Structure 1
Amino acid sequence: MSKLHYPDLQVCVLAAGKGKRMCSNLPKVLHKVLGRAMIDHVLHTVEALRPKSIALVTGHASEMVREHVGQPANLDWVIQDKQLGTGHAVQQCERVIRDVRDVLIVCGDTPLLTVDTLAHLVDEHRRAGTDVTVLTAKPVNPFGYGRIVRDESGNVTSIVEQKDATDEQRLIGEVSSGIYCVRHEVLFDLLHLIENRNAQEEYYLPDIVPLALKAGQSVAAVAMNDSDEMVGVNDRVDLAHVEGLMQKHIIQDWQRRGVTIEKPDTVRIEAGVKIGIDTVIQAGCYLIGTTNVGDECRVGPNAVLVNAWLDDRVNVYAFSHIHGASVGSDTLVGPYARLRPGAQLDEEVHIGNFVEVKKSVVGRGSKINHLSYIGDAVIGSSCNIGAGTITCNYDGANKFVTEIGDNVFVGSDTQLVAPVKVGSDSTIGAGSTITRNVTEGGLTLSERNAERYISGWKRPQKDNG
């Protein structure tokens, strides 16, 4: 749990914009950045402040946003029926904000924001005792942002939006992030005074700055350390840019935590992924969703892991795909292997090239090394499944289970027609088609549809000398 706690702080998240430039049926804040919707990134950040509550302002396709977010206990929904500007959006929160000291206002399309930056803003606002504090930055390219106008003494006098700025004002390098911390006692009085005399005929939140100064209230600016945090998303070019920035930060964070990432510019690691120490992620790998990789693993190159679970010391060879599957420690997978949802591999399992496993349990130490399909099966420990083996699990309408005991040897090019059970310590000869249960021990052969059982047959043993 976060050590931060602001029980007298209300957070207001602005997420009502249409996002026309996204050219999408999806609300802008629901577009994903490294596997999470933008609004999820922002809510996760502000929740770490542990404020009294969060007011989420929605407008365009509010039902979709609400369905996605759900109903956290500390979240109030606010509807902005008409998108009349950021000042108007915050004004709609008046009915839900009460009994707090300050209101923190953030944008729902700024997924790079960090909790440390927001905490610094709130702390500085309170330390200075100001009425209005704006979070500012000095980006390399200030285009599109409201400029911070100061007087000769360096005091903030106004914030001028890009579209309303003069040529001289557009040369100013310090810009507003659109994030404010405002004393609750003055916020809504200021908002009710805002007018829409501007090029967009909207009620701009930054207009509270000159209004506060006119009323004799104090205004301050707090600079963020990294201007990337304030980068917003207006179109898909911005979306790709923000995702690139976040990916760089995530990769560097994992590197500092003890993960080796080869050719990091070719790797994708989404925000919900966890990786253990001394693990190596090779070039071209994709780690997606809620993937968890243990300690001392090796993944890649060009492997794809989606909502996968890898215990410690797992080696995933090149071009393998693991989706919704769990892999036990000291297991080898690939190259060119595919583990589909529901696959569960125990410890020390070998899954080789061009092997597909779906909704099956593979016991400890078992090997499926070549060119096989295992679906809807339960395989015991210390089994060897020969090349080309198939569990025939589907009759066109229903799925059936194949059960294989411990220490079973299945010869190459065998078809196991489910439902069928193979007893422990048994051996199935190459090229067999198994349609009936196999007795424990001995050798089972089939020629076309015939099966015969040889009692007492002993499997050849390796010469370990």
Structure 2
Amino acid sequence: MSDFRLEAAILAAGFGTRMFSPIPKMLSKILGDPLVRYPFEALSAMSSPPGKTYAVAGRDSIAHALPESVVWIQQKQMDGTLGAVEAVVLSPDWISGDATHLLVVNGDAPLLSGDLLDDFLGKSMASGVDMAIGTSTLDEPGRYGRVIRDRSGVSMIKEYVDLSLEEKAIQEINAGIYLFSREVLKTFLPKVLPHPEKKERFLTTVVELVREAGGEVGGIVLSPDVVLGVNTQEELSYASGLLKNRINKKHMASGVTFWDPASTYVGPRVRIGPGTILFPGVILEGDVVLSERTHVGAGSHLTDVHSGPDVTIRDYCVISGSRIEAAAIIGPFAHIRPDSHVGPTAHVGNFVELKKTSLGEGAKANHLAYLGDAEIGAGSNIGAGTITCNYDGVGKHKTVLGKNVFVGSDTQFVAPLKVGDGAVIAAGSTITEDVPPDSLALSRTSQENRDGAAIRYRERLLAAKREHQVAPGGQGG
């Protein structure tokens, strides 16, 4: 196979009308990732990934769902699966390229894996056929097209509307995975005519044309669950359940503890170190990396988060697009928004929100605070009720606190400003100017104690209450 060069195509141009949703089918999410991302990840996980991957889209804009390395092709004429592959074959990238074979997969097949595609490719090439298709056997094949075989292999794939009564009893179906040589695509794609009833050109017609020309078509039988397609919301939910169980079992086999796997949702790109414990109701999606011995509390939701070892995330925290360093403690009920960084052994406590903020090593914000567009130095302590006033109605501004700064409760920092190392901010202060290192800053008014004033105050209130009760129309009680 020294002259074998593979490229791949993901067919993602279908309308998805049976989803009954304004969201394009290929962008429907399973465990946090769009449907079309799954076949791409399977292709990327092959032992020798395709040199180039094409994605064929229809009227919907879905390019943001896949990496920039993917070659996007717009299928201008919605002419079935054949029209999608034809769009690839007529593209400048394919024409000018040197690929010998094209591997075709459906964009709505979330259970594909690199191992399965490796197996399909290996068996296809070993059989020496001119073209290969993936097939599956279903107890109830329903309205799927059927695979018709003879002594030489697959002779045709018949659409349901063309099946005889006997052929409807066949349980082997087309699984939607194809391997074509460049020569087969060049020779037979232009010869496919529209189906007389459906008025579409079907990619499966190439099977008959290859056989009529004396070629061989191999049928590689695959697991039904692995090649499951998604066309309805019910099928989306079913596929999500299968994928969730597969992913959770993989992590458990690698030393991750799930208190309740049934209620824990882990996305396909999540990486988890051994010794990690996930409590019930945890959701991990996107590019999440949890190092060893991380504890994630019940009901917490992490998206695109990287954490170091021995991190504790307590119950009901929402964290996205951020990094948490070793032995930090988060929560409960903390909200860490994108572009935040929590340093080693730092604490972010209950009802604390970070937005584009960094906490240095050992810094603490343990209670009821909003820190936005801020840089908090190592060892600093943020009192309860502290707010960085980062937005002036037009732009965002930064607050910078040095090392070992002590901030008293109920403090407002009106950005932009800087506070030097070792400074102390008195409780209840509104800080509008820079504070030098090791300075004490306070801005509240002086306290005044008036002897006996509380007694006189209560007497006035009681007198007013009695007067109201005896006035005409007044009500007692």
Under TM normalisation by the shorter chain, which class is it? 0.7 to 0.9
User: What residue number does 2:462 align with?
Assistant: none
Q: How does 1:171-186 map to 2 (within 5 A)?
A: 171-186=169-184
User: What residue number does 1:403 align with?
Assistant: 400
Counterpart among 40, 43, 46 of residue 43 in structure 1: 40
Counterpart among 83, 105, 110 of residue 78 in structure 2: 83
Counterpart among 212, 227, 235 of residue 214 in structure 1: 212
1:334 shift after superposition: 0.7
User: What residue number does 1:114 align with?
Assistant: 113
The structure number with the bigger radius of gyration is 2
User: What residue number does 2:349 align with?
Assistant: 352
Question: For residue 125 of structure 2, what is the amino acid of its counterpart?
Answer: R
Distance between the aligned counterparts of 1:43 and 1:59, measured in 2?
A: 17
User: What residue number does 2:247 align with?
Assistant: 250
Moved more, 4-13 or 162-171: 4-13
> Can you list the C-alpha shifts for 1:104-130, whole angstroms capped at 9, x where unaligned?
222222232222222222221221211
| Structure 2 gap ranges (5+) | 448-477
Indicate if the aligned counterparts of 2:195 and 2:202 stay in contact, CA closer than 8 A.
no
Distance between the aligned counterparts of 1:442 and 1:69, measured in 2?
A: 52
Indicate if the aligned counterparts of 1:393 and 1:400 stay in contact, CA closer than 8 A.
yes
User: What residue number does 1:202 align with?
Assistant: 200
Query: What SS does the corresponding residue of 1:312 show, helix, strand or coil?
Result: coil
User: What residue number does 2:128 align with?
Assistant: 129
Question: For residue 419 of structure 2, what is the amino acid of its counterpart?
Answer: V
1:349 shift after superposition: 0.8
User: What residue number does 1:454 align with?
Assistant: none
> Can you list the C-alpha shifts for 1:154-179, whole angstroms capped at 9, x where unaligned?
94333222333234323322211022
Cα 1:51/1:26, change in 2 over 3 Å: same
Indicate if the aligned counterparts of 1:6 and 1:51 stay in contact, CA closer than 8 A.
no
Cα root mean square deviation, aligned? 3.0
Distance between the aligned counterparts of 2:373 and 2:6, measured in 1?
A: 53
Counterpart among 359, 382, 401 of residue 385 in structure 1: 382
Question: For residue 203 of structure 2, what is the amino acid of its counterpart?
Answer: L
Moved more, 402-411 or 276-285: 402-411
Question: For residue 237 of structure 1, what is the amino acid of its counterpart?
Answer: E
Cα 1:11/1:377, change in 2 over 3 Å: closer
Question: For residue 250 of structure 1, what is the amino acid of its counterpart?
Answer: I
User: What residue number does 1:458 align with?
Assistant: none
Query: What SS does the corresponding residue of 1:227 show, helix, strand or coil?
Result: coil
Cα 1:132/1:441, change in 2 over 3 Å: closer
User: What residue number does 1:331 align with?
Assistant: 328
Indicate if the aligned counterparts of 2:89 and 2:185 stay in contact, CA closer than 8 A.
no
Query: What SS does the corresponding residue of 1:229 show, helix, strand or coil?
Result: coil
1:318 shift after superposition: 0.4
| Structure 1 gap ranges (5+) | 451-465
Q: How does 1:41-440 map to 2 (within 5 A)?
A: 41-47=38-44, 48=46, 49-61=48-60, 64-66=61-63, 69=66, 72=69, 75=71, 78-95=73-90, 96=94, 100-151=99-150, 155-224=153-222, 226-440=223-437
> Can you list the C-alpha shifts for 1:238-263, whole angstroms capped at 9, x where unaligned?
33332332222222222222222221
Percent identity, aligned pairs only? 36
Distance between the aligned counterparts of 1:419 and 1:133, measured in 2?
A: 65
Indicate if the aligned counterparts of 2:37 and 2:65 stay in contact, CA closer than 8 A.
no
1:414 shift after superposition: 3.0
1:331 shift after superposition: 0.7
Distance between the aligned counterparts of 1:340 and 1:118, measured in 2?
A: 38
Query: What SS does the corresponding residue of 1:205 show, helix, strand or coil?
Result: coil
Question: For residue 311 of structure 2, what is the amino acid of its counterpart?
Answer: V
Question: For residue 148 of structure 2, what is the amino acid of its counterpart?
Answer: V
Question: For residue 139 of structure 1, what is the amino acid of its counterpart?
Answer: L
TM-score (norm 1): 0.84
Distance between the aligned counterparts of 1:298 and 1:71, measured in 2?
A: 34
Distance between the aligned counterparts of 2:400 and 2:221, measured in 1?
A: 64
Indicate if the aligned counterparts of 2:4 and 2:100 stay in contact, CA closer than 8 A.
no
